[in-house]
Amino acid sequence: MLKCDIPTSEIAKGLKGRDLLTLLDYTSEEISYLLNYANQMKKNMLLGDMPPILAGKTLGMIFEKHSTRTRISFEVGMNQLGGQAMFMNARDMQIGRGESVYDTGHVLSEYLDGVMIRANSHEMVKELAEHSTIPIINGLTDIYHPCQALADLLTILEVKGSLAGYKLVYVGDGNNVAHSLVIAAAHMGMHVVVATPQGYEFNPNLLVKAKAIAEANEGSVLETTNPVEAVTDADVVYTDTWTSMGQEEEAAKRLEEFKDFQINDELVAYAKKDYMFLHCLPAHREEEVATSVIDGPNSYVFQQAGNRLHAQKAVLASLL
Ligand code: CP
Ligand code: NVA
């Protein structure tokens, strides 16, 4: 489905034991490999073929924030791969009352085969990875959400049959989900447009990096504050909440400042007829997206949420 010129055995060897923090340090071939692997695993599962590749392995899952999809899909994924997952609320761990990240990383590496962590600070996750000898998988930080991006691309791949050359438009807050989506799509040679209100732009350093990745893969990344211009002729229209976890006190101000960036029937009329609507969820109907769009015929949000399971199983099987 996706072109990959390097032998898969070479790529598989290179992924073993790695962290998954941002996707910036993954090659386009490695991302293609993970998407192809996820696609194959999903097909095999539907045929009842689920080899216990991770029998005897345990994934620790640390959460500093709420989660439905990430927690459940990782836990189910580990079970389906023959291993087990252990949920840990960061507040209940000693790290929640001041134990160092250094000690925590060293200690967890004695028990576990990998850690998936959802944290407030990306810097903390980086530090944990530096002091751990097991793979650390980012389950969302203030800057990135790489596992979400893999599921997003897997969904587009399933529907469109390929990724390179398609126009993917992200409308809304230049947040963690946007950063990872754009980096991953750039790797796959997509034409990406990011439309945000002024003051809520995509991280400028990451924009430079994403543009360079896209150019190397014959894709492109553009930024605008005009949602109509962005969505015109889009193959995929993506949005996320205007108020991420931890920003609740800004909610009223954001509702006002994002109001022209809602994905509604008027806006998607500029997209291609067979456009796909995607949202990482949780969604806020009648805020970032009109009910008629998210519950309409072009919406793939539940298939997308389901693909968290398959994309992450490919990550777990490859890294652990
Ligand atoms: N999309 C996503 O990460 O959902 P959760 O917050 O429910 O894990
Ligand atoms: N941007 C959102 C994504 C939730 C999955 C947040 O960080 O809350």
3-state secondary structure at position 174: coil
Ligand 2 site: residues with CB under 6 angstroms? 140, 175-177, 240-241, 244-245, 280
Contact in structure between 320 and 114 (CB atoms under 8 Å): yes
Task: Return d(Cα 100, Cα 238) in angstroms, integer.
Answer: 38
Contact in structure between 18 and 317 (CB atoms under 8 Å): no
Best residue for ligand 1 mutational test, from 71, 280, 284, 294 (most atoms within 8 Å of Cβ): 280
Contact in structure between 171 and 231 (CB atoms under 8 Å): yes
Q: Which pLDDT score, from 0 to 100, does residue 271 have?
A: 98
- As separate numbers, helices (DSSP H) first and strands (DSSP E) second, the chain gives 13, 9
Atom of ligand 1 nearest to the CA of 71: 8
Q: What is the DSSP letter of 97?
A: G
Determine whether the shortest distance from the Cβ of 70 to ligand 1 is under 6 A. Answer: yes
Atom of ligand 1 nearest to the CA of 139: 3
Q: How many domains does the chain have?
A: 2
284 and 183 share one domain:
yes
216 and 71 share one domain:
no
- Closest ligand to the CA of 304: 1
Q: Which pLDDT score, from 0 to 100, does residue 107 have?
A: 98
3: in domain: no
69 and 196 share one domain:
no
Q: What's the 244 CA to ligand 2 centre distance in angstroms? A: 5
Indicate the pTM of the whole model: 0.98
Contact in structure between 242 and 288 (CB atoms under 8 Å): yes
282 and 313 share one domain:
no
- Closest ligand to the CA of 245: 2
Q: What's the 176 CA to ligand 2 centre distance in angstroms? A: 7
1: in domain: no
Best residue for ligand 2 mutational test, from 70, 73, 182, 241 (most atoms within 8 Å of Cβ): 241
Contact in structure between 231 and 271 (CB atoms under 8 Å): yes
Residue 72 host element (H or E)? helix 69-80
Give the residue from 219, 68, 203, 209 showing the smallest Cα distance to 153.
219
Task: Return d(Cα 184, Cα 22) in angstroms, integer.
Answer: 9
164: in domain: yes
Determine whether the shortest distance from the Cβ of 280 to ligand 1 is under 6 A. Answer: yes
Contact in structure between 222 and 194 (CB atoms under 8 Å): yes
Determine whether the shortest distance from the Cβ of 119 to ligand 1 is under 6 A. Answer: no
Q: Which pLDDT score, from 0 to 100, does residue 93 have?
A: 96
Q: Rounded to 5 degrees, what angle do the CA atoms 269, 274, 279 make? A: 80
Instruction: State the 10-residue block means of pLDDT for the chain, 320 residues long.
Output: 79 97 96 97 93 97 98 98 97 95 98 98 98 98 98 98 98 98 98 98 98 98 98 98 97 98 98 98 98 98 98 98
Q: Which pLDDT score, from 0 to 100, does residue 7 have?
A: 80
User: CB-based burial of residue 279 (10 Å sphere; 0-12 exposed, 13-18 middle, 19+ buried)?
Assistant: buried
152 and 299 share one domain:
yes
What residue numbers bound the domain in which 199 lies?
147-305
15: in domain: yes
Output phi, psi for 165, to 5 deg.
90, -15
152 and 296 share one domain:
yes
22 and 123 share one domain:
yes
130 and 248 share one domain:
no
pLDDT in tens, 45-68: 999 999 999 999 999 999 999 999
Q: What is the CATH number of the domain that holds 62?
A: 3.40.50.1370
Contact in structure between 145 and 180 (CB atoms under 8 Å): yes
Atom of ligand 2 nearest to the CA of 173: 1
Q: Which pLDDT score, from 0 to 100, does residue 22 have?
A: 97
Give the residue from 117, 179, 163 showing the smallest Cα distance to 276.
163
294 and 165 share one domain:
yes
264: in domain: yes
The set of catalytic residues is 118, 145, 148, 240, 280, 308
95 and 14 share one domain:
yes
176 and 245 share one domain:
yes
User: CB-based burial of residue 318 (10 Å sphere; 0-12 exposed, 13-18 middle, 19+ buried)?
Assistant: buried
189: in domain: yes
68: in domain: yes
45 and 163 share one domain:
no
pLDDT in tens, 70-95: 999 999 999 999 999 999 999 999 99
210: in domain: yes
DSSP 191-240: EEEEE--TTSPPPHHHHHHHHHHHHHTT-EEEEES-HHHHHTT-SEEEE-
Q: Which pLDDT score, from 0 to 100, does residue 2 have?
A: 77
